[in-house]
Amino acid sequence: MLKIENLQARIEEKEILKGINLEIKPGEVHAIMGPNGSGKSTLASVLAGREAYEVTGGSVDFLGKDLLELSPEDRAKEGLFLAFQYPVEIPGVSTTNFIKTAVNEKRKYQGLDPLDAAQFLRTMKEKMKLVQIDQSLLSRSLNEGFSGGEKKRNEIFQMAMLEPKLAILDETDSGLDIDALRIVANGVNELRSANNAFLVVTHYQRLLDYIVPDFVHVLYNGRIVRSGTKELALELEEKGYDFIKAEVEKETV
């Protein structure tokens, strides 16, 4: 589904990704872990198409298409979804109006008719249950004045509405208490299927208790330095990132 080869990227003059290789197949859940500043969020942003980052090398194939050639909106329409670490507050645009626009633009791209008001409402109600989000929240301005937990639940709600093939969760666990974390994780688990895939970016192992990954990768200094199964996450939790740093530095000497 997603094949990243030797991906390199920088912001302004700073090299951040220094050759990432990663392959994700349908039905898989991959976790990317790593210390602060290792490039985790950069990877998520580059995949979603944030223009502040400049790709300086490598390639990304998404379902047979050159992902890096697509605009952010076309990436989304092709089935990529980024759950933001910091969802943006947009005064004056209601979540309902926003998500309706997004869903119908995607349907248009796929050659489908737009959902009528009744169909849209039905779908929305069904997906709202998934993340226990309230109607009143959705008629308010997008994320404006939402608590941290409400923002993250709103991200997962949008994901449910857009039904992406590949969802990237960028530090979705940050700022969540355990109840909110459970709700968010539960929403993700409900959406898991043999046809879609997830890339979970996180600093802590905590989220992976609830969203159990098939593969865990450790990102350090712009490269994936370790890959393994979910046991690798537990090892990191136990030993901390310093042991990885030490090992990597030993190898490069």
Partner 1 sequence: MDVKTILQDTFTASSSAHSGLSAFQQESWTNFSNWGLPALKHEEWRYTRIRNLFTDKLIAGQHQLPTKETISSYMLPGLESSNSIIFVNGYFVPELSHIQDDESSLIIKSLDTASKDEDAPFVKQNLGHSARYHTDGINALNGAFAAGGVYMRVKKGKSLTAPVAIYHFSDSSNGLRFSQPRVLVNIEAGAQATVVEHYINLGSGDTLTNEVLEICTSQDAVLYYIKIQDEGNASSHTGTTHIRQLAKSLTHAVTITLSGKVVRNNLNMVMEAEHGESHMYGLYLLEGETLADNHTIVDNAMPHCYSNELYKGIMDGHSTGVFNGKIFVRKDAQKTNAYQSNKNILIGSNSAANTKPQLEIFADDVKCSHGCTIGKLDEDALFYLRARGISIENAQALLLHAFAMDILDQIKDEHVRAFADQLISKRLLFTI
Residue among 104, 132, 174, 221 that touches partner 1 (CB under 8 A): 104
Residue among 11, 63, 68, 93 that touches partner 1 (CB under 8 A): 93
Question: Mask: binding to partner 1, 1-40, rule CB under 8 A, as x and -?
Answer: ----------------------------------------
State which residue, 52 or 118, has the beta carbon closest to partner 1: 52
71 binds partner 1 (CB under 8 A): yes
State which residue, 51 or 251, has the beta carbon closest to partner 1: 51
- In sequence order, the 6+-apart residues with CB closer than 8 A to the CB of 192 are 29, 198
Q: Least distance in Å: CB of 196 to partner 1? A: 16
Which span (13-21, 65-73, 115-123, 193-201) binds partner 1, by CB under 8 A? Answer: 65-73
Which span (33-41, 58-66, 88-96, 216-224) binds partner 1, by CB under 8 A? Answer: 88-96
73 binds partner 1 (CB under 8 A): yes
Residue among 21, 35, 70, 98 that touches partner 1 (CB under 8 A): 98
Which span (89-97, 146-154, 195-203, 207-215) binds partner 1, by CB under 8 A? Answer: 89-97
Judged by CB under 8 A, the number of residues near partner 1 is: 34
Instruction: Name the token pair of 227.
Output: 């890959």
Nearest Cα residue to 215 out of 22, 6, 36 = 22
What is the contact surface with partner 1 in residues (CB under 8 A)?
48-52, 71-73, 75-77, 81-82, 84, 87-88, 90-93, 97-99, 101-102, 104-106, 108-109, 114, 141, 158, 162
